[in-house]
Structure 1
Amino acid sequence: MSYNLYLSVLLMAATCCSLVITYLSWKRRELPIAISYGLGLLTGAFYTFGYAFEIVSTSLEQIRFWLRIEYIGIPFGTILWFVLVLQYTGRQRYMNKWVIALLMIVPVITFVAHNTNEWHHLFYKSMTLNYSEGFPLVTLEKGPLYKLHVAYSYTFFVVGMGLLIQMFRKATPRMKKQITFMIIGSWGPYGFTLVYLSGVIYMPIDISPFGFVFSGIFFMWGIYQFNMLRLAPLALQKVFASMQDAVMVFDLDNTLTSFNQSANRVIEGISHKWIGQPAVQVFFQYPVLLEKIMQGPSLDSKVQISGQDDEQFYNIHMSFISDINQKPVGKMLLLSNVTEMVRSEERLLENARQLSELNTFKDRMFNVVAHDIRDPLAVLINLMELMEEEMQAYGGKHEEIVHEMGQQIQNTFTLVESLLDWFRSQKGGMIFHPVERDLAHAVQTNLRLLLVRSEGKHIQLISDIPKGTFVYADKEMLDLIIRNLLSNAIKFTDSGGTIRLKADRRDDKMIVSVSDTGEGMSSDQANTLLQEANPISSTGTAGERGVGLGLTLCREFVRLNGGEIWFDSTPSQGSTFYFSIPTLPEATSKLPVSKEGLVLGEVL
Structure 2
Amino acid sequence: MSYNSYLSVLLMAATCCSLVITYLSWKRRELPIAISYGLGLLTGAFYTFGYAFEIVSTTLDQIRFWLRIEYIGIPFGTILWFILVLQYTGRQKYINKWVIGFLMIVPMITFISHNTNEWHHLFYKSMTLDYSEGFPLAVLEKGPLYMLHVLYSYSFFVVGMVFLIQMFFKATPRMKKQIAFMIIGSWGPYGFTLVYLCGIIYMPIDISPFGFIFSGVFFLWGIYQFNMLRLAPLALQKVFASMQDAVMVFDLDNTLTSFNQSAVGVIQGLSHQWIGQPAVQLFNSYPVLLAKIVQGPSMASKIQLAGSTDEQFYNVHMSFITDIQHKPAGKMILISNVTEVVRSEERLRDNARQLSELNTFKDKMFNVVAHDIRDPLAVLINLMELMEDDMQDCNGDHEEIVREMGQQIQNTFILVESLLDWFRSQRGGMIFNPVERDLALAVQTSLRLLHVRSESKQIQIISEIPKDTYVYADKEMLDLIIRNLLSNAIKFTELGGTIRLRTEHAEDRIIVSVSDTGEGIPTDQASTLLQEFYPISSMGTAGERGVGLGLTLCREFVRLNGGEIWFDSAPAQGSTFYFSIPTPPEAPTQPPARGGQR
Taking the TM superposition and a 5 Å limit, the aligned residue runs for 1:305-324 are 314-323=314-323
1:125 positional shift: 1.2
Q: Secondary structure at the match of 1:140?
A: strand
For residue 249 of structure 2, what is the amino acid of its counterpart?
Answer: V
Q: Secondary structure at the match of 1:316?
A: strand
For residue 125 of structure 1, what is the amino acid of its counterpart?
Answer: K
* 2:514 counterpart (512, 523, 528): 512
Question: Are 1:249 and 2:212 an aligned pair?
Answer: no
CA deviation vs aligned residue, 1:178-200 (integer Å, no higher than 9, x gap): 3443344323323443455456x
Q: Contact (CA 8 Å) 2:124, 2:146: kept in 1 or not?
A: yes
CA deviation vs aligned residue, 1:234-287 (integer Å, no higher than 9, x gap): 9x9767634456344321233343456876887799887875466579879977
CA deviation vs aligned residue, 1:381-406 (integer Å, no higher than 9, x gap): 68757765765565267678768866
* Runs of at least 5 residues in structure 1 that lack an aligned partner in the other structure: 453-459, 491-495, 590-604
For residue 178 of structure 1, what is the amino acid of its counterpart?
Answer: Q
Distance in 1 separating the partners of 2:38 and 2:521? 99
CA 1:35 to 1:557, structure 2 compared with 1: closer, same or farther past 3 Å? closer
Question: Are 1:476 and 2:477 an aligned pair?
Answer: no
For residue 114 of structure 2, what is the amino acid of its counterpart?
Answer: H
Distance in 2 separating the partners of 1:213 and 1:164? 21
Which residue of 2 is the match for residue 216 of structure 1?
Answer: 216
For residue 512 of structure 1, what is the amino acid of its counterpart?
Answer: V
Indicate the larger mover: 380-389 or 137-146. 380-389
1:230 positional shift: 0.8
Which residue of 2 is the match for residue 594 of structure 1?
Answer: none
Question: Are 1:33 and 2:33 an aligned pair?
Answer: yes
For residue 36 of structure 1, what is the amino acid of its counterpart?
Answer: S
For residue 154 of structure 2, what is the amino acid of its counterpart?
Answer: Y
CA 1:64 to 1:467, structure 2 compared with 1: closer, same or farther past 3 Å? closer
Distance in 1 separating the partners of 2:499 and 2:305? 56
TM-score (norm: length of structure 2): 0.69
For residue 580 of structure 1, what is the amino acid of its counterpart?
Answer: Y
CA 1:180 to 1:124, structure 2 compared with 1: closer, same or farther past 3 Å? same
Distance in 2 separating the partners of 1:466 and 1:56? 115
Q: Secondary structure at the match of 1:73?
A: helix
Distance in 2 separating the partners of 1:95 and 1:499? 88
CA deviation vs aligned residue, 1:343-384 (integer Å, no higher than 9, x gap): 665565565455545545655666676777678767866875
Q: Contact (CA 8 Å) 1:321, 1:332: kept in 2 or not?
A: yes
Which residue of 2 is the match for residue 43 of structure 1?
Answer: 43
Distance in 1 separating the partners of 2:568 and 2:454? 22
Taking the TM superposition and a 5 Å limit, the aligned residue runs for 1:523-534 are 525=524, 529-530=528-529, 533-534=532-533
Distance in 1 separating the partners of 2:237 and 2:299? 27
Q: Secondary structure at the match of 1:332?
A: strand
Which residue of 2 is the match for residue 597 of structure 1?
Answer: none
For residue 188 of structure 1, what is the amino acid of its counterpart?
Answer: G
Which residue of 2 is the match for residue 581 of structure 1?
Answer: 579
Q: Secondary structure at the match of 2:254?
A: coil
1:417 positional shift: 5.1
Which residue of 2 is the match for residue 593 of structure 1?
Answer: none
Distance in 1 separating the partners of 2:371 and 2:417? 15
1:428 positional shift: 2.4
Which residue of 2 is the match for residue 595 of structure 1?
Answer: none
CA deviation vs aligned residue, 1:49-102 (integer Å, no higher than 9, x gap): 655676788886776566455434322322332343344345388445x87677
CA 1:17 to 1:486, structure 2 compared with 1: closer, same or farther past 3 Å? farther
Distance in 1 separating the partners of 2:256 and 2:273? 10
For residue 240 of structure 2, what is the amino acid of its counterpart?
Answer: A
Distance in 2 separating the partners of 1:90 and 1:139? 41
Which residue of 1 is the match for residue 225 of structure 2?
Answer: 225
For residue 257 of structure 1, what is the amino acid of its counterpart?
Answer: T
Which residue of 2 is the match for residue 293 of structure 1?
Answer: 293
Q: Secondary structure at the match of 2:579?
A: strand
CA 1:219 to 1:185, structure 2 compared with 1: closer, same or farther past 3 Å? same
Percent sequence identity over matched residues?
Answer: 62
CA 1:477 to 1:283, structure 2 compared with 1: closer, same or farther past 3 Å? farther
Q: Contact (CA 8 Å) 1:439, 1:469: kept in 2 or not?
A: no
CA 1:385 to 1:486, structure 2 compared with 1: closer, same or farther past 3 Å? farther
Q: Contact (CA 8 Å) 1:184, 1:218: kept in 2 or not?
A: yes
Q: Secondary structure at the match of 1:317?
A: strand
1:318 positional shift: 1.4
For residue 149 of structure 1, what is the amino acid of its counterpart?
Answer: H
CA 1:527 to 1:165, structure 2 compared with 1: closer, same or farther past 3 Å? farther
For residue 318 of structure 1, what is the amino acid of its counterpart?
Answer: M
Distance in 1 separating the partners of 2:263 and 2:221? 32
CA 1:557 to 1:344, structure 2 compared with 1: closer, same or farther past 3 Å? closer
Q: Contact (CA 8 Å) 1:313, 1:337: kept in 2 or not?
A: yes
CA 1:65 to 1:345, structure 2 compared with 1: closer, same or farther past 3 Å? same
Which residue of 1 is the match for residue 125 of structure 2?
Answer: 125
Taking the TM superposition and a 5 Å limit, the aligned residue runs for 1:488-567 are 489=492, 501=499, 508=506, 509-514=511-516, 516-517=518-519, 520-521=522-523, 525=524, 529-530=528-529, 533-534=532-533, 537=536, 562-566=563-567
For residue 221 of structure 2, what is the amino acid of its counterpart?
Answer: W
Q: Secondary structure at the match of 2:253?
A: coil
CA 1:555 to 1:411, structure 2 compared with 1: closer, same or farther past 3 Å? closer
CA 1:443 to 1:576, structure 2 compared with 1: closer, same or farther past 3 Å? farther
Distance in 1 separating the partners of 2:170 and 2:429? 64
Q: Contact (CA 8 Å) 1:498, 1:517: kept in 2 or not?
A: no
Distance in 1 separating the partners of 2:301 and 2:290? 14
* 1:24 counterpart (21, 25, 31): 21
For residue 71 of structure 1, what is the amino acid of its counterpart?
Answer: Y
1:146 positional shift: 1.7
Q: Secondary structure at the match of 2:77?
A: helix
CA 1:93 to 1:576, structure 2 compared with 1: closer, same or farther past 3 Å? farther
CA 1:177 to 1:157, structure 2 compared with 1: closer, same or farther past 3 Å? same
CA 1:399 to 1:484, structure 2 compared with 1: closer, same or farther past 3 Å? closer
Q: Contact (CA 8 Å) 2:418, 2:550: kept in 1 or not?
A: no
TM-score (norm: length of structure 1): 0.68
Q: Contact (CA 8 Å) 1:131, 1:137: kept in 2 or not?
A: yes
Q: Contact (CA 8 Å) 2:555, 2:565: kept in 1 or not?
A: yes
Taking the TM superposition and a 5 Å limit, the aligned residue runs for 1:361-372 are none
* Runs of at least 5 residues in structure 2 that lack an aligned partner in the other structure: 586-598
Distance in 2 separating the partners of 1:198 and 1:180? 26
Distance in 2 separating the partners of 1:442 and 1:376? 25
Distance in 2 separating the partners of 1:518 and 1:272? 74
CA 1:381 to 1:449, structure 2 compared with 1: closer, same or farther past 3 Å? farther
Q: Secondary structure at the match of 1:228?
A: coil
Which residue of 1 is the match for residue 428 of structure 2?
Answer: 428
Distance in 2 separating the partners of 1:464 and 1:125? 119
Distance in 2 separating the partners of 1:510 and 1:73? 88
Q: Contact (CA 8 Å) 2:464, 2:502: kept in 1 or not?
A: no
For residue 40 of structure 1, what is the amino acid of its counterpart?
Answer: G
CA 1:257 to 1:8, structure 2 compared with 1: closer, same or farther past 3 Å? farther
Q: Contact (CA 8 Å) 2:372, 2:548: kept in 1 or not?
A: no
Distance in 1 separating the partners of 2:370 and 2:496? 26
